[in-house]
Structure 1
Amino acid sequence: MNATPSGAHAAGAAPAGGGESQLHRGLSQRHIMFIALGTAIGTGLFYGSAGGIQTAGPGVILAFLIAGSAVYLVMRALGEMTLREPVSGSFAAYASRYLGPFAGYVTGWTFVFELAVVIVADTAAITTYMAFWFPDVPGWAWVAATILVIGLVNLTHVGSFGETEFWLTLIKVGAIVAMIFGGLILMFTGASFTDGTPAGLNNLVDHGGFLPMGFGGVLLALTIVTFSFGGIETLGVAAGEAKNPEKVLPKAINAVPVRILLFYVLTMVVIMALMPWTAVDGKTSPFVQIFEGLGVPFAPHLLNFVVLTAAISAINACIYGAGRLLYAMAHDGQAPRAFTRVNRGGVPWLSIVVMLGVMVLGAILITVNPDAFVLVAGVASFAVVFTWAMIFLSHRAMQARVKEQGAAPSVYPMPLGALGTWLGLAFVATVVITMATVPESRQALLIGLVWVACLTAAWFLTGVRTSAAVHDRTGTLPVVRQHD
């Protein structure tokens, strides 16, 4: 049984059909599945994981397991709401419907902020990767080339984005699978790292134990690895342009646990079995550093190409997600009306141009402060958990309204019911409390809180509160039709 909404379109969603002011449903099942894969594999894994390893040692594996479980709960909460009401605005539209226009406004803009910060982090990563091959070429040159390519992809038909993301993700997935098998072969053939340490699972416990920094190190690593999963919510945004969301989304979401176990947990096990975790220096991707240290011919160059592909893919997905969300928020009166304009390919071009501008700002920031990646990743982690918190709260409010109005039950319910929602909120609280108590992440938390304060001030001091009230749809639930 599938569920599709009938009647009026949901909050934040313009009809997804033809026309100069509407999005096009141009994403196939293949595109949606690979967008789900692509958003789960990015710079956070290939580059940012170095910070998690340095903080928790092999315990970062446990941090990825905990954060990955939270990701699954987030996606199931989002999936349940999406199948009741598939809209391009996704979680911002749901926050508006179930928590009120102000909640939708803050949620939407914070997610756009999250994606902008992730774009800056990935821009920093691109300059680092290219320096591996061309140390004398200035980073801004690579940023300019990336802007040109990403701009051309995103300013055409949405199918161009989906097809590009499909092939970029295929490269990432293939490389990770190959790296895992290659790492296992190296372990069983007696390969040794530069310092003479043999590869093997013993490296997970030989250098201070599995938890060399204690469980506190795992908690601190959570604030870092959470950044790795930032942007996976884009899958919900893509529902507004999916041809068969009620069929495609459950398949994509249900694959999340397998992806996390394979692409994060197993990858981290292999990485830290190949070399002592204490040897990770964070100057380049741990993947590149390890295979370079093992003396594998050409492997560092191949992996550097893969991690570069991952960064481009992440920027591609972030620009797509931000553009579609701003489009939906503009229809809800929560963003400037200009963001509703689309080109002939059904693409909201203005928001894409704005996010490309963010890349330029990111290039300037990286030039001024080459070590800004850690702070940027911390700010992104705050935006990620804030967005997740609003998804969980919206889901909880939806469940209450379903019960109150006697609406049709969900066809894709959250595992563990209300307990699953509360466990997700407990994870968010843990990350925020850890950020507040650890000096290294406190600055990022303060930046995030200042952002929310600025949004709140803008809500009351500008006309957005009035324009959002006109589009307030917090009344009855959308009608859900059951069909085969």
Structure 2
Amino acid sequence: MQTQNPAALSRGLNVRHIRFMALGSAIGTGLFYGSASAIRAAGPAVLIAYMVAGAAVFMVMRSLGEMAVRHPVSGSFGQYAGRYLGPFAGFATGWTYVFEMAIVALADVTAFGIYMGFWFPDVDRWVWIAAVILFLTAVNLLSVKVFGELEFWFSLVKVVAIIAMIAGGAALIVFGFSSGDGQAGAHQLVEHGGLVPNGFGGLLAAFSVVVFAFGGVETIGVTAGEAADPKRAIPGAVNTVPVRILLFYVLTLGVLMSLFPWNQVGAQGSPFVQIFDGLGIPGAAHVLNAVVITAALSAINSDIFGAGRILFGLAQQGHAPAAFGRVSRRGVPWMTVVVMTGVLGLGVVLNAVIPEDVFTVIASIATFATVFVWGMILASHVAMKREIRRYALAPSEFPSPLWPAASVAAIGFLALVVVLLGCFEETRVALVVGAAWIGLLGAAYALWVRGDGRNRPALRDETAQMPVVGPRGTVSVQDSVRA
């Protein structure tokens, strides 16, 4: 395959692509499949969990947006951590995001196989997983514009379906639809044990699944290096996507639990399909199964894209093999796509060996990686704001609101989620795997990166023109201090 200069990523993504890519990452398996676990843990109080986590996500997104407008580079937040927190922080953040996307993609392909089982219960799940991996690998090896268009249409299908489901569910409630489980209405939210049926502990237990559901919204930052107009595209996506996601999650689940008793949501398949199948509405379950399959395809597509672009950024910094920095004639970092395909091949094996337990284990590990990446984004943003003040740099064009109180609150929430992962037996494995992962990164950095005297590419500041931290942690300020 012919390659070109590693710096020549194709800028083929517009505002429409970027907004729907972020929706594609965050409105997927976590909502259409993982929400069943959250509902069983917290009952109707899961709506509170989504609102609290959604507020934290918004602050992460605004912090990332401010940095992305200031530094529109590929593999953005890994480079921001290196710039503001030191070389190891950048190394750990970039690789942990790759780890996060790989784990989330494994969860997404697992969900895809489960959804296909609704129509083809006699076909082994791993067969569908292998097929979808090959299809989406081919898509990601095409130009980024083709990828963006496909992701736009994938995401549009599920967004339209969610809106139609909210409207249709609201109509059923207004007109007093009745089934064998009683009349639809908001009273269903409190008739089966109250709003918080499993107590405060149940609400806390839901947070790990809820954070997993929101994981992927940070993909907006990854697109900065391939956005045709980052200063317009990034703020537009950051301001609208988190609000839409929050509304989709809260409104959709609120309507569903008003139609069907929350305590009858099972563990097999999508709760969306289960509920409409249980309501006895002809054809509704099949239509929704097609929607959740599209949602899974969209999420896997974004996972492959996000991990690949971060690997590309790591290669540019000397934190990953140089092969990951090579691009095809179409401006696609093809080696990163091939590696992600190999990682997803693990999903085929896991679903063939432990099909019943694989999703819970994968989701909890993905939650740890998500929290780590979000925490590093917030910490990088705090360090950037301090540096802007210390050197009297030009102010940001897209500042994060409620600084610094909201950022501190978001960091506190993420710390709580980490503690909660260790409090419940089914998610404790995430801390074990997470600690092992961080230890592995420390060893890898010490052996292959630290002390390497090669020059690292500078991370230019669009506002203040300040380059990145050097290979030994030094900062060189150029044309950045106001006269």
TM-score, normalised relative to structure 2: 0.93
Choose from 168, 177, 184 the match for 1:191: 177
- In structure 2, the partner of 1:363 is 348
Residue 147 of structure 2 corresponds to residue 165 of structure 1: no
Choose from 12, 25, 28 the match for 2:11: 25
Choose from 190, 196, 202 the match for 1:217: 202
Contact kept, 8 Å, 2:15 with 2:236, in 1: the verdict is no
Contact kept, 8 Å, 2:15 with 2:237, in 1: the verdict is no
Residue 393 of structure 2 corresponds to residue 407 of structure 1: yes
Post-superposition offset of 1:49: 0.3
- In structure 2, the partner of 1:397 is 383
Residue ranges of structure 1 left out of the alignment (5+ in a row): 1-17
Q: How does 1:59-458 map to 2 (within 5 A)?
A: 59-193=45-179, 195-370=180-355, 371-458=357-444
The list of structure 1 runs, each at least 4 consecutive aligned residues, that deviate by more than 3 angstroms after superposition, is 18-21, 466-470, 476-482
Post-superposition offset of 1:478: 7.5
Moved more, 132-141 or 473-482: 473-482
With over 3 angstroms needed to count, the CA separation of the structure-2 counterparts of 1:469 and 1:102, relative to structure 1, is farther
* Root mean square deviation, CA, Å: 1.7
With over 3 angstroms needed to count, the CA separation of the structure-2 counterparts of 1:469 and 1:70, relative to structure 1, is farther
- In structure 2, the partner of 1:10 is none
1:361 alignment partner AA: L
**3-state DSSP of counterpart to 2:327:** coil
- In structure 2, the partner of 1:11 is none
Contact kept, 8 Å, 1:86 with 1:245, in 2: the verdict is yes
**3-state DSSP of counterpart to 2:9:** coil
With over 3 angstroms needed to count, the CA separation of the structure-2 counterparts of 1:295 and 1:479, relative to structure 1, is farther
With over 3 angstroms needed to count, the CA separation of the structure-2 counterparts of 1:468 and 1:54, relative to structure 1, is farther
Deviations 1:100-159 (A, max 9, x none): 110000000000000000011011101100010011112222122212220111001000
For 1:378 and 1:477, how far apart are their aligned partners in 2?
41
For 2:478 and 2:267, how far apart are their aligned partners in 1?
49
**3-state DSSP of counterpart to 1:408:** coil
**3-state DSSP of counterpart to 2:433:** helix
Contact kept, 8 Å, 1:20 with 1:344, in 2: the verdict is no
1:315 alignment partner AA: I
For 2:351 and 2:481, how far apart are their aligned partners in 1?
51
Contact kept, 8 Å, 1:71 with 1:229, in 2: the verdict is yes
For 1:298 and 1:327, how far apart are their aligned partners in 2?
44
For 1:410 and 1:28, how far apart are their aligned partners in 2?
22
For 2:144 and 2:22, how far apart are their aligned partners in 1?
16
For 1:369 and 1:477, how far apart are their aligned partners in 2?
53
Post-superposition offset of 1:258: 2.7
Post-superposition offset of 1:481: 12
- In structure 2, the partner of 1:9 is none
With over 3 angstroms needed to count, the CA separation of the structure-2 counterparts of 1:150 and 1:478, relative to structure 1, is farther
For 1:387 and 1:468, how far apart are their aligned partners in 2?
27
Contact kept, 8 Å, 1:401 with 1:477, in 2: the verdict is no
For 1:165 and 1:395, how far apart are their aligned partners in 2?
29
Moved more, 44-53 or 177-186: 177-186
For 1:481 and 1:249, how far apart are their aligned partners in 2?
26
Deviations 1:4-38 (A, max 9, x none): xxxxxxxxxxxxxx856520111112111211222
For 1:109 and 1:328, how far apart are their aligned partners in 2?
10
Post-superposition offset of 1:476: 4.5
Contact kept, 8 Å, 2:5 with 2:326, in 1: the verdict is no
1:445 alignment partner AA: L
Equivalenced residue count is 463
1:455 alignment partner AA: L
With over 3 angstroms needed to count, the CA separation of the structure-2 counterparts of 1:292 and 1:464, relative to structure 1, is same
With over 3 angstroms needed to count, the CA separation of the structure-2 counterparts of 1:33 and 1:77, relative to structure 1, is same
Moved more, 127-136 or 412-421: 412-421
2:438 alignment partner AA: V
For 1:276 and 1:58, how far apart are their aligned partners in 2?
10
For 1:163 and 1:481, how far apart are their aligned partners in 2?
41
Contact kept, 8 Å, 2:19 with 2:241, in 1: the verdict is no
For 2:481 and 2:138, how far apart are their aligned partners in 1?
39
